[in-house]
Structures are given as C-alpha cells and as structure tokens.
Amino acid sequence: MSDFLNRLRHAAGAGHIWENEPMNRHTTFRVGGPARYFVSPPGESELSAVLNLCRSEGMPFYILGNGSNLLIADRGFDGVMIEMGDGFSGIKKQGKEPGDDQTGEILIEAGSGALLSRIAREALSDSLTGFEFAAGIPGTMGGAVVMNAGAYGGEMRDVLVSVRVLEPSGEIHEIKASELELGYRKSCIPKREYVVLSAVIRLKRGDGALIREKMEDLAARRREKQPLEYPSAGSTFKRPEGYFAGKLIEDAGLRGYRNGGAQVSEKHCGFVINRDNATAQEILDLCRIVQDKVFASSGVCLETEIKMLGFEENQERK
C-alpha cells in the first residue's frame, strides 16, 4: 500500500476511500475509466484534510457532484475524485417556518451535494416558489452554483443569497451571491479555487397547486424536447451570443450524426448522447466534429459546457 493511500485513509477514514473506482457509475454520460482514488468525505474537516493532502503532494483532484456535466476519458482519472456525498446533502430552512408568515420569503440552506430535484420537491412541499426551473436539472447545489445553472428562463443567481466555501488556505467563508461574478454558465469560484460547502437560496411563498403545475409543465417540455431516454451530459454546448447552439448544429447538417456509439440527438441537436455503448473518446471526437463543422458552416465557435478530465492536453479545447 502506498504512503499516499495510507495518508488519504487517515485524512478521510478508511471506509470512505475506494481504489480504481469505475467512473461510468458516477457520470450521466455513463462512460469513463477508473479514478485512481475515489473519496467520499463524511464531513467538512475530512474534506479539508483530503484537499490539504492532495495540494501538498501535488496530486490532481476533482470535486464531483452528480457527474452531470462531466466527461472522463476511457483511461480514467489519475488522481483523487472527491465526491460531495451524504455528508454534504442536508437541506434545512432558515428564518420563518412555513405557516408563520404567509406573505414572506423563506431562506433554504442546502449542502453542495444536495440534488436540485430534491430541493425543488421540498420547496414544493412547503408551497415555496422560485426554484421550479431547477427541478429537472440533473445536478447538485454545488455544481449549480459554480456554473450558475439555469433552464427555462430561470437561473441560480435569481434565487442565490450566499455560499459557504472552503478556500485553498483551509478557511471557511460565507460569500454573498453578488460577489461571485455570476454570469452565463460561470462564476468566479473555479478561478479562486473555492470548494462549495453549502448555499442559501431565497424563495417566496406561493400557491402549491400552481407550483406543482409549473413543475409538471416543465417536466413535460423536457420529455418532449430533450433526449432523456439516452445517457448524456445535458446541453453539450454553450449558447453563443445571438445564436442557439442546436439551430447552428442542425443548419450544419448534423442532426442524428453519429461517431461510433455517440450521436448528435435527433430530438435536440444541442445534445450529444451516448446512443449505443459509446466510448468517452467517441463522444469527445463527436464534439470536435460538431465544433469544426459549425464553424465551417456559420463562422461561430461553439464552446462545450461539459468539463473533460483525463484526456491528452492537445485534445482538450473549449
């Protein structure tokens, strides 16, 4: 057993570490080779200890939520995959409890590992409105904050109040949403090397029946327009200013285009899907083909939304 593994077990606890964990079990693309080390810290102190160890030893690491915006190479990730699991999935209300103020706002704090769908369901159970847009996003609170996730006219910055982060120094700070430089699918969190621990959102009291109706309507629209029956990472490309990525891809003649088991969705051209046991390399290559053909057709450079890990540097591009 390596000295690093021993120290990793000491930092996180032996029962929270796995070696050579297949990452196709942890990504929505359902592809990807093994992570050399897979760690699910039970709490903040263990997370801090793991991060300190990785940084001191120069070991690559990645913070994993639901794996819904991630493509990992077939050869895997030669580093430490840190899952924000059960220890970071709590949801609790702050301020007034439901029923105390029928017109006021309620603050909800959710751990970075809490699924957006679960937060939306709990908001619905308390007749709180404002988070319906996130009910169908297959991600976690942490990833949603980092990416300023959004759908159907709503995004995180509409409801986000503050975020608790672990800084590289090991200090924990609460940062106001206004300080996070939230924009279209971006924030300052990656460049500052913050790790999101939890976030507070502000929701308003509403009509439970109307909230449910809106959530069901958005779910129906997703089923109708998105290829939910196939593994994917959701919308694969960012929306270029003044354009729609799916329309550009369709106009380039790529609807249904296949590369091995990977395919541009016939239902929504903005999605690259794992149609038939695709490899990660086939998915990556298809993304590059799409980018090249769209640029040749329209002169527009498409950027991918998904994070890519474990590929050769010359294969990784925006």
Query: What's the chain's average pLDDT?
Result: 94
Which of 177, 183, 180 lies closest to 191 in space, CA to CA? 180
CB 7 within 8 A of CB 46: no
Which pLDDT tens digit goes with each residue over 35-65?
A: 999 999 999 999 999 999 999 999 999 999 9
Give the percent of the chain with pLDDT over 90: 92
CB 265 within 8 A of CB 272: yes
Longest dimension (CA), the chain: 59
CA pair distance 272, 83, nearest whole angstrom: 25
Does 102 have pLDDT greater than 80?
no
What totals of helices (H) and strands (E) does the chain contain, helices first? 8, 17
Which of 47, 75, 77 lies closest to 166 in space, CA to CA? 47
Higher pLDDT, 103 or 121: 121
CATH 3.90.78.10 given to domain 245-315: yes
What pLDDT does 97 receive? 47
Asked if 3-83 and 88-225 have one fold, the answer is: no
Q: Is 235 a catalytic residue?
A: yes
CA pair distance 133, 100, nearest whole angstrom: 26
Q: Is 169 a catalytic residue?
A: no
CB 51 within 8 A of CB 61: yes
> Which of these CATH numbers, 3.30.43.10, 1.10.3720.10, 1.10.510.10, 3.40.50.720, describes 3-83?
3.30.43.10
Does 98 have pLDDT greater than 50?
no
CA pair distance 138, 127, nearest whole angstrom: 22
Which pLDDT tens digit goes with each residue over 230-284?
A: 999 999 999 999 999 999 999 999 999 999 999 999 999 999 999 999 999 999 9
CATH class belonging to 88-225: alpha beta
Does 67 have pLDDT greater than 80?
yes
Q: Mapping DSSP to helix (H, G, I), strand (E, B) and coil, where does residue 26 land?
A: coil
What pLDDT does 94 receive? 81
Q: Where are the domains of the chain?
A: 3-83, 88-225, 245-315
Q: Is 75 a catalytic residue?
A: no
CA pair distance 175, 136, nearest whole angstrom: 27
Catalytic residue among 40, 198, 232, 235: 235
Phi, psi of 309 (to 5 degrees): -130, 140
Catalytic residue among 7, 185, 239, 255: 185
Q: Mapping DSSP to helix (H, G, I), strand (E, B) and coil, where does residue 253 land?
A: coil
